[in-house]
Amino acid sequence: MSGGRVLLVAVLIASLCLNVYLTVTLIQLRSDYRRLEEGFRELAAQNENLTRQVKSLRSLLEVVERQLDYYRNQTIYYSSLIGETGGVSGSLEGRAVVNVVAVKAIPYGFFEVKYEGVALKAEVELREGEGRVLVNTEPRIGIDLQTSSRVAVEVAEKYTGVSLNRTDVIITVRGEEEVEVVDGPSAGLAITAAIIAAITGENLSSSVYATGTINPDGSVGPVGGVAEKAVAAAEKGATMFLVPKGQATIVVYEKKVEEPVPGFKIIRYIPKKVSLQSYLEGLGYHVKVVEVSSIWEAYSLFKPSP
């Protein structure tokens, strides 16, 4: 065999070995790439789940913080709720219905909960009695109205100058289904308006909704879940939505998706301040949002337009 043929055979053998090596390497690289791609997808899914959980926890934290503020204030004033009220005394009879909005908890996936607004009806009935405040729900609604209802009675007495010490106040909250409501005190403003209407014999508008705690001095306190409640009210045909002072502006979380490398997405929710009214308009609802600071400012807005 000539030297040229030997060299050619050697080159062919070397080329074959190199091709085998490159093929094995390519197969290994493709396998590694698939594993990395699967890992990226898993991390992206975990990131989205964690981000969603954080958003849900932020909503719950806002609601709980507002409730803690409310109950802290009631602790300070609680001794005054025993019922020393001046003004006209005697038993009364009356009835009024008002819209109530709250936030309900909904199971979402494994160990996750999301929060949505829910619209309810509250009926206030005045009967001759002993000054008791009775709260019922139909069907079962996990809502705490006892403390806020007692404050509402006191404020209604101050507003009208009428004592209810010989009148029982019966409050019945009605919903379309059994729900677990997480923010009962936020119905205080609406309940107060209904008690006043029952005393005075006035009607309340069926298209006005409100959220806000009520304090013994008649001031309206802040609440959580304003956006969720506003949407629930809008879905029921609200034309006006009353909110505590400073809460006509809300924080919404815009979804932002980033893809630093192909196949790996990072999802973040960026906080952004917007007006509640424009937020509702963006969803196709036309609701007038009005801030109120006290029952004296709010009550006239509950009444039907002339």
Asked if the model's pLDDT at residue 109 lies above 70, the reply is: no
Asked if the model's pLDDT at residue 85 lies above 50, the reply is: no
Q: Is residue 221 domain-resident?
A: yes
Average pLDDT (266-289) is 92
pLDDT at position 182 is 63
pLDDT at position 252 is 85
pLDDT band of 39, cuts 50, 70, 90: low
For residues 183 and 148, what is the distance between their CA atoms, to the nearest angstrom?
11
pLDDT at position 140 is 78
How many independent structural domains does the chain possess?
A: 1
Per the structure block, which two tokens stand in for 118? 């829910």
Local structure of 226: helix, strand or coil:
helix
pLDDT at position 88 is 54
Active-site position among 148, 163, 229, 294: 229
- Name the percent of the chain in helix, strand, coil, to the closest 5: 45, 30, 25
Nearest CA-CA partner of 160 in 89, 244, 80: 89
pLDDT band of 108, cuts 50, 70, 90: confident
Q: Is residue 110 domain-resident?
A: yes
For residues 207 and 205, what is the distance between their CA atoms, to the nearest angstrom?
5
Q: Is residue 23 domain-resident?
A: no
* 4 vs 98: which has the higher pLDDT: 98
- Count of CB atoms situated within 10 Å of the CB of 136: 12
**Where is average pLDDT lowest: 1-5, 31-35, 156-160, 284-288?**
1-5
* Residue 186 falls in the annotated catalytic set: yes
**Phi, psi for 255 (deg, rounded to 5):** -75, 130
pLDDT at position 79 is 46
pLDDT at position 72 is 55
Which segments of 72-203 are extended strands (E)? 94-107, 113-128, 133-138, 167-174
Residue 103 belongs to domain with CATH number: 3.30.230.10
This prediction has a pTM of 0.72
Q: Is residue 36 domain-resident?
A: no
Supply the range of the domain harboring residue 291.
58-302
As a whole-number percent, the residues of the chain with pLDDT over 70 amount to 70
For β-strands 133-138 and 167-174, DSSP reports them as parallel
pLDDT per residue as tens digits for the range 180-237: 776 778 999 999 999 999 999 999 999 999 999 999 999 999 998 999 999 999 999 9
Total residue count of the chain as it appears in this document? 306
pLDDT at position 82 is 45
Give Dmax over CA atoms of the chain in angstroms. Answer: 129
Asked if the model's pLDDT at residue 83 lies above 50, the reply is: no
Segment holding 54, helix H or strand E: helix 3-77
As a whole-number percent, the residues of the chain with pLDDT over 90 amount to 48
Active-site position among 148, 186, 219, 294: 186
* 153 vs 263: which has the higher pLDDT: 153
